[in-house]
A and B are shown apart, each in its own frame.
Chain A
Amino acid sequence: MARKLLLEHIDVAGINTLEVYRKQGGYRAVEKALKKLSPEDVVDEVKKSGLRGRGGAGFPTGMKWSFLAKPEGKARYLVCNADESEPGTFKDRYLMTNIPHLLIEGMIVSSYALGANTSYIYVRGEMMPQIRILEKAIAEAKAAGFLGKNILGSGYDLELYVQPGGGAYICGEETALIESLEGKRGNPRIKPPFPAISGVWGCPTVVNNVESIAAVVSIINDGGDEYAKVGIGRSTGTKLISASGNLAKPGVYEIELGLSVEEFIYSEKYCGGMANGKRLKAVVAGGSSVPILPANLILKTTNGENRLMSYESLADGGFATGTMLGSGGFIAFDEDACIVRNTWNYSRFYHHESCGQCSPCREGTGWMEKVLHRLEYGHGAMSDIDLLVDVAKNIEGNTICPLGDAAAWPVASAIRHFRDEFEWHVKHPEKALKGNYGLAHYADPLPPVVVETV
């Protein structure tokens, strides 16, 4: 049985209201934490759960919390990262739209654990509808006594606010987010100091993704050990996967970590296979920043094992033949998709979103965009392909924040796995402008679905 820990009640009518959410057992975790557990107990449960950050990096949440500095007389802050701008990722918006109280409840329990008396949910400005939904949910929670002074008579006070961004992917990076919350440009800070020591207004701060914070609710309700039983190995729990691209049923799915990639793509329970009976060409499994893999490598590892939706299995083979779970933005490409055009689009995106502080990122992303543009539009040379590899290598690891890596990986991996398609663009510029390279040796190892005709 696939367990659902986040979206179990998503289809219940009115679950976006406090009343219905409570009827489904909502706010039990707040009652339990504030009445029966100490903040340290809550941190311990989260540690035991093995929960890893759902924002992309996969860093253990409990460990992150235990790093938070607690100097006398200084406020501490919890900031929820709802910037969700990684192309291919739309799970946080889905969660906030449909079951906002799950996030609010998670924020209350997590703030209590960290000793924060004021917390913020930083939502990208484009999600104005979700900002309104959260504000309404916060007002409901406050009226019911779950926020404000002396919550449930526990002596614990918490104010929760929603802060809008202004349209900038980089503000998803936690130190850029902090700058933005302070009313400044979203330029990432040089670390150290880490936010756990000096974050918002120089105070110790934890930044966590929406889904990580929402997961804390079931961890507290059922206990960290129970949570750790779900999933596989060190990939504990469930994960929201945002499925997009050429799939029959794109959307947000909650999976138990360890589900096979094949089942996720082809079973009726999840994506229902490729749209229009087409064949699978490639997948970007964890949001636009992670390496792209051809169909044969996303379905099976080089050892011939089934590839699973878990942090470890997706990374199997390193960057040579593997990828990353990242934020769970699962983008599927069918046989008609052009890898060169897609890679150019991503480079354009990263160039547009670079904050411009470090030259390898600012200049390098611009170079990659330009070279990819000329390859896609039929003016490329063979040497351009190696030039791209070279530029990507020079960005990687040489920047203040990981946006540089995020821009380099998609380009490097596309050339690693689809070099013949790039070469075809150089050799046949007219054909490349009109049509598509289609499938080559990296073709979907599964036969196309036979559609019964009556």
Chain B
Amino acid sequence: MLKVTETQEITFSKELLKQFDEILTRYPEGKHKSALLPILHLVQAEFGWVSTPAMDKVAAYLHILPIEVYEVTTFYTMFFLQPQGKYVLEVCRTGPCTLVGAEKMMQHIEKKLGVKEGEVTKDGLFSWRGVECLAACGMAPVLQIGPDYTYYEHLTTEKVDALVDELKSKKA
């Protein structure tokens, strides 16, 4: 569901626009719509999620209709259409991972963070969700955290605790 929870004006920095321009050079003349996914990733990395004003700006930049951007962001699971925690723990919940404890890991994360899937912790630092196979099944259980999408493999409850604590202390 596309929900608008932020309408505030946003601006793309000069550096960001420079990166957009570089992406456009990868495609033949007139095929600039191909830049949409790479650009959306950059936007999400910058703002933490993809708001409607941000999508409209992307549409204007690429000279396409806003609906062409909405269609895409609602189709692909990686784009957040709501604000998230600063760190989103994305845990694989697919078959091979569940054979070696992925469900237990998700329960533990829920307990450790004290929020349900999709919710944000009060301090705004964390949210989490189950995602589908991350192509790391042999190193399961596994989670990753954007915007770099670093993989954390062979998870144990201790490793999850240490990771969460480390990210918390980074704030200071």
A: residues with CB less than 8 A from B are 75, 84-90, 92-93, 118, 124-129, 159, 161, 163-169, 180-186, 201, 242-246, 250-252, 288, 329, 331, 333, 337, 341-342, 345-346, 349, 352-353
Contacts and interface: CB of A to CB of B under 8 A. Distances in A.
A166 B72 contact: yes
Contact of B99 (A164, A165, A184, A246): A246
* 8 cross-chain pairs, A with B, having the tightest CB-CB distances, nearest first: A166-B76, A167-B78, A244-B137, A183-B36, A183-B33, A167-B77, A128-B149, A250-B138
Given A124-B135, A180-B37, A201-B31, A345 B95 contact: yes
A286 to B, nearest CB: 13
B149 A333 contact: no
Interface residues of B, number: 43
B148 A168 contact: no
A245 B149 contact: no
Given A87-B133, A168-B76, A288 B95 contact: yes
Nearest to A243: B138
Given A129-B151, A166-B40, A345-B98, A244 B138 contact: yes
A211 B134 CA distance: 18
A346 B78 contact: no
A201 B31 CA distance: 8
Nearest to B92: A87
Interface in B83-119: 93-96, 98-100
B90 to A, nearest CB: 8
B101 to A, nearest CB: 11
Contacts of B132: 85, 87, 169, 349, 352-353
- Interface SS, A side: mixed
B73 to A, nearest CB: 8
A342 B95 contact: yes
Contacts of B99: 244-246, 331, 333, 337, 342
B39 to A, nearest CB: 9
Which among A89, A159, A244 has the greatest number of chain B C-beta atoms within 10 A?
Answer: A244
A342 to B, nearest CB: 6
Name the residue in A89, A124, A201, A245 with the highest tally of chain B Cβ atoms < 10 Å from its Cβ. Answer: A245
Given A129-B149, A349-B94, A181 B34 contact: yes
A163 B38 contact: yes
A166 B135 contact: no
Contacts of B148: 128-129
Contact of B71 (A85, A90, A93, A185): A185
B28 A165 contact: no
B41 interface: yes
Given A75-B28, A250-B137, 4 more contacts: A85-B135, A128-B148, A163-B26, A185-B72
B155 interface: no
Contacts of A167: 76-79, 131
Contacts of B40: 166
Given A88-B133, A246-B100, A182 B138 contact: no
Contacts of B150: 129
B40 to A, nearest CB: 7
A164 B41 contact: yes
26 contacts: A87-B137, A88-B96, A88-B137, A90-B139, A92-B135, A118-B28, A124-B135, A126-B144, A126-B149, A127-B135, A129-B148, A161-B26, A166-B41, A166-B72, A182-B34, A183-B35, A184-B33, A184-B71, A242-B137, A244-B137, A244-B138, A245-B100, A250-B137, A329-B137, A342-B99, A346-B95
